[in-house]
Amino acid sequence: AQSLGQPQGRIILTVSGKIAQTNRPGQAVFDMAMLQTLPQRTFLTHTPWEKEPIRFSGPLLRDVLALVKASGTRIQATALNDYRIQIPVEDTQRHDVLMALRMNGEPMPVRTRGPLFIVYPFDAEPALRSVKYYERSIWQLRSLDIE
């Protein structure tokens, strides 16, 4: 099992709640370099926000949850602007949900939905092309609370 380590750069993600592996009291905090050390996946998908398909890259959300030894059934995801959405942990097992770090090969600044964007592989299954999954695709992600 991979150890968490300590962030050396700016913290961009905080994971709390029902987790067994932490690097701060009650939390697992990550800088970009820590997320980049996880296995990276890439997929191309259409989104409801752009006309052309987009290539997203980053670790699978289930790998992030495994790293912190999450044991809950729901994820309360919060964006920089305090937008919140609940994501069932089951989604991360059934679908290759990404915590995207890159869009079309480039890092994502805040103004283009970054630095982190939870995105579903919408083109992989027709059922994923629905408001339910579009709403769960939270951009400018800053924290995950495992419930």
Rg (CA), the chain: 14
The CA distance from 108 to 113, in Å, is 6
User: 24 pLDDT exceeds 60?
Assistant: yes
pLDDT confidence of residue 2:
63
CB 145 within 8 A of CB 75: yes
User: 137 pLDDT exceeds 60?
Assistant: yes
pLDDT in tens, 45-102: 999 999 999 999 999 999 999 999 999 999 999 999 999 999 999 999 999 999 999 9
CB burial class (10 A; 0-12, 13-18, 19+) of residue 20? exposed
Q: What is the pTM of this model?
A: 0.95
